């Protein structure tokens, strides 16, 4: 009996020892250097490192995507460091609606606008241009429904089907069929197709500071010469607000200085005198927002029919001149222009005052060189505005396409005789001695010699992206 108890005790001791050994092994397996807990801790640390790396990778990807997103936004809504930056290459940008445009090398986006509203760009010297969005199919001249002969009178375009584009007017234009463009129409169309539009000067061509006939509005320097047809010295027009309009210039000289404005590789554009296709495309684009502007532009331009009582087109601080037109009282026949030699600075009111007789007024410098005998002659005075003098003349961020100056274009013809020494060049829009109904923004006048120099005739530059 004692013998069996001894064996049982030894077995118990052996069992305890085995259990202790097993417990030690288990503890080592769980808590040892290479145990379960240690392994789990290492796995956790490894997982944390992986998660951290993944987070860093995700953050880097997000940053890259954000950069791409910012680059796709218009320059006008990027961070301050991007606003106003002159681009060193032609850059395509996109607005909030998804429309795209190309900002050319050498220019910056100046104003915050949707592309459809007319984005304004500027070069380093402050010349401003407006983007005209259009497809290559929208870039075209207006096709007249009414082909009535318009020699000697103006003709309004009409449509039997009631089309909305009726109302485009012409003078001495539909009588002739030999009209051509002095520009590379193929290259212009290619630029529009590749970039989705073109640029037009925000303002009528202004006189540059380097010209002998420049008027400094800020210093109220009234000295003013009439030799604006002199283009020597490589002078170029400007497209800036509040500058003396560059009129009294032949069409060929307007074409030459327009092409000078941006040449070479400094800028990503070609500059030229506005062509007929570009003008019509702009008018069509404007008429979408301003229905009827193509046939009645009185309230959006400096016209003779604009008086203070009618349209309130006036500004307190701007540059302007008063030109006189002289008539014989005996038979009402015209004598000609008495061109102002001085500009005035201050309160401006657009329009025409008939039968001017006040000799205390400064109009045309008190008759200039003409007789002031009001018993024999009568005088109407007309106001010429500086560029962009009134915001009432702004359509789609573009000033004075209606009224102020009739503008030379590259469209020309010889009226049926290619051997003729007389070349005719088309003027667009009205002027400060016209009415907004008879010469609206769509007006096309073809009865003007290309060498004609007149205070009513100015010009405008367009840009095609290279």
Question: DSSP readout, 9-65?
Answer: HHHHHHHHHHHHHHHHHHHHHHHSTTSHHHHHHHHHHHHHHHHHHHHHHHHHHHHHH
CB 121 within 8 A of CB 109: yes
The pLDDT tens digits for 219-262 are 555 555 557 888 988 999 999 998 889 999 999 999 999 999 99
Residue 81's H or E segment, with its range, is none
Phi, psi of 229 (to 5 degrees): -80, -5
For position 61, what pLDDT does the model report?
A: 59
92-128: pLDDT as tens digits:
988 888 899 999 999 999 876 789 999 999 999 999 9
Q: What's the CA gap between 46 and 229, in Å, rounded? A: 81
- What integer pLDDT is reported at residue 321 of this predicted model? 82
Q: What is the pLDDT of residue 360?
A: 43
- Report whether 437 contacts 299 (CB < 8 A): no
Q: Which residues of the chain have pLDDT under 70?
A: 1-7, 11, 13-14, 17-18, 20-83, 112, 159-166, 216-226, 307-316, 348-349, 353-375, 416, 418-421
pTM for the complete prediction?
Answer: 0.78
Q: Name the residue among 54, 65, 179 with its Cα closest to residue 444.
A: 179
CB neighbours of 464 closer than 8 A, spacing ≥ 6? 187, 188, 191, 192, 198, 199, 269, 270, 272
Q: Are 463 and 188 in contact (CB under 8 A)?
A: no
Within 10 angstroms of residue 159's Cβ, the number of other Cβ atoms is 13
The encoded tokens of residue 317 equal 């601080």
Q: What is the pLDDT of residue 459?
A: 98
């Amino acid at each position: 009996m004692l013998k069996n108890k001894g064996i049982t005790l030894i077995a118990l001791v052996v069992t305890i020892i085995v259990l202790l050994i097993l417990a030690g092994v288990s503890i080592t397996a769980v808590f040892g250097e290479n145990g379960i807990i240690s392994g789990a801790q290492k796995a956790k640390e490894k997982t944390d490192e992986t998660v951290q790396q993944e987070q860093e990778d995700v953050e880097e990807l997000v940053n890259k995507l954000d950069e791409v997103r910012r680059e796709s936004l218009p320059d006008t809504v990027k961070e301050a460091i991007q606003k106003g930056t002159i681009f060193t290459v032609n850059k395509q940008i996109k607005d909030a609606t998804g429309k795209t445009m190309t900002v050319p090398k050498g220019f910056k986006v100046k104003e915050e606008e949707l592309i459809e509203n007319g984005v304004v760009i500027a070069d380093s010297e402050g010349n401003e241009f407006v983007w005209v969005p259009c497809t290559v199919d929208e870039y075209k001249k207006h096709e007249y429904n009414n082909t009535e002969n318009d020699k000697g009178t103006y003709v309004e375009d009409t449509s039997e089907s009631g089309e909305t584009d009726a109302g485009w007017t012409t003078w001495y234009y539909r009588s002739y069929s030999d009209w051509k463009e002095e520009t590379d129409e193929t290259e212009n169309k290619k630029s529009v197709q590749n970039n989705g539009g073109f640029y037009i000067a925000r303002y009528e061509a202004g006189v540059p500071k380097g010209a002998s006939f420049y008027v400094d509005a800020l210093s109220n320097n009234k000295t003013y010469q009439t030799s604006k047809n002199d283009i020597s010295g490589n002078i170029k027009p400007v497209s800036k607000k509040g500058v003396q309009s560059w009129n009294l210039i032949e069409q060929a000289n307007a074409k030459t200085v327009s092409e000078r404005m941006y040449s070479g590789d400094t800028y990503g554009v070609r500059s030229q005198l506005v062509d007929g296709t570009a003008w019509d495309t702009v008018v069509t684009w404007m008429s979408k927002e301003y229905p009827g502007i193509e046939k009645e532009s009185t309230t959006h331009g400096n016209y003779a029919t604009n008086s203070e009582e009618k349209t309130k087109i006036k500004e307190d601080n701007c540059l302007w001149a008063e030109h006189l037109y002289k008539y014989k009282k005996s038979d009402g026949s015209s004598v000609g222009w008495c061109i102002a030699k001085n500009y005035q600075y201050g309160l401006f009111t657009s329009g025409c005052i008939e039968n001017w007789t006040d000799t205390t007024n400064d109009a045309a410098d008190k008759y200039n060189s003409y007789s002031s005998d009001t018993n024999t002659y009568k005088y109407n005075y007309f106001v010429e505005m500086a560029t962009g003098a009134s915001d009432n003349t702004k359509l789609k961020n573009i000033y004075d396409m209606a009224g102020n100056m009739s503008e030379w274009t590259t469209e020309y013809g010889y009226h049926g005789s290619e051997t003729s020494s007389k070349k005719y060049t088309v003027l667009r829009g009205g002027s400060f001695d016209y009415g907004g109904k008879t010469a609206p923004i769509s007006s096309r006048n073809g009865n003007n010699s290309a060498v004609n120099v007149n205070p009513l005739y100015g010009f405008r530059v367009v840009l095609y992206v290279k």
